[in-house]
Amino acid sequence: MDYLKGLNVIILSLLLILTGCFGMLSDDEEDSVEAQNPDDTTTVTASLTAQDIADAMILASNSPPKISVKTFDFTIEDWEDTELFRNNWLYSGFFVCLDDPEDFENEDGTHIGYTLEEQRESLAESESDIGDRHLANMIELGDCVLYFDFVSVDPDGDSMTKGIDTDFDGIIDIPITPNDGMVLVGVDNSTNKDVFNGLMASSCEQIDVAFIAIDEHGASTAEFMHFLGVETCDEEEDMSYYEFSGIDDSGSGDGSVIVTYTSGTDLSLNNLMFTVSVDGEATQTLSNCDEGFGEPCYSHYMEDWYVGDSIVIDTDCTSVCTIYLTITDLIDGTDIGAITIDTE
């Protein structure tokens, strides 16, 4: 677009000449342009001053500010086992919501402050391995704090007004002073959120905002930013994501039950731990029945557990019992299933 700017400057320069700014018109003449309508009944005169043309030349040659927010992409391997398509909505950072009064206490138990100046001072005094951080606005209980890193510049050296637009109305809601660095911004917890399901079984909240910069001559630019709320992920989602059912192994008479995998992704039995409690007694960890360690144990003839497949669990119950079974993922230590089975 530089050639357009150059053309605009040339045209405006010619206008300056024609209006006498370079001495071609006498001092007694008015810097004006007359336009007559087709019926010749009225004449409209519009005054065009030298300052108007000078301002127009500045705008014609003015460059808008430039902003760049650090984003985080996933590696190709991260996407191989997902059903999601790659997209241009990259993370600009993360956010946490401060719902506990203790979140506003320093390590020594003192409050971080009740004004923006006090909170900035507390932030500056806190030890950090990530360098200086700028707190854009005062944080209150219930706010969600966005963390991001950015740089900005105006190619013409103009002063800039910049900040965060939280509701996409084109107006800066939270001003940001520095031209670069790590920034903390507090937004109201009622800010619109999306539900993000990327690369994880659980659903997490996502906050989207716009970063706007405007220079002193009115040229502007904007960049969208997306933040993932790690602590908002539904921790119980894993329990509902994997579903199991269990029935008594009819006719066995030895406290055996059949557990069937009914919903979820493929599981490796080598990564699972089964624990049982019979009639509320102490919990016991199941071994592989083929290893000969006795009961309780489980039998299977596969390495991977697919939806629809069943395993048999033997307990030391010899009568009517209630079996409480818990299935734990050893990789992350989370319980992915819990079922209750009555034996006859």
pLDDT in tens, the chain (344 residues): 454 455 455 555 555 555 554 444 444 444 444 445 555 555 545 566 777 766 676 666 788 999 999 988 765 555 555 555 566 788 888 888 888 888 898 888 889 999 999 999 988 887 655 567 899 999 999 899 999 999 999 999 999 999 999 999 999 999 999 999 999 999 987 665 666 655 444 567 889 999 999 999 899 999 999 888 877 765 544 444 788 988 888 765 567 888 999 888 888 888 888 888 888 788 888 887 776 666 778 777 678 888 888 888 888 777 788 888 899 988 878 888 888 888 87
For 173, counting Cβ atoms within 10 Å of its Cβ (0-12 exposed, 13-18 middle, 19+ buried), the class is middle
Q: Could you tell me where the DSSP H helices lie in the chain?
A: 2-18, 50-61, 76-80, 116-125, 237-241
Per DSSP, helices labelled H in 111-221 are 116-125
What span, in angstroms and rounded, lies between the C-alpha atoms of 258 and 175? Answer: 61
Distance CA 137, CA 36 (A): 55
- The domain ranges of the chain are 2-61, 66-232, 237-343
Q: Is 258 helix (H, G, I), strand (E, B) or coil?
A: strand
Give yes or no for a cis peptide into 101 (omega within 30° of 0).
no
Q: Which residues contact 120 (CB under 8 A, 6 or more apart)?
A: 113, 135
With respect to CATH, is domain 237-343 assigned 2.60.40? yes
Give the three-class secondary structure for 138.
coil
Q: Rounded to an integer, what distance in angstroms lies between the CA atom of residue 343 and that of residue 317?
A: 8
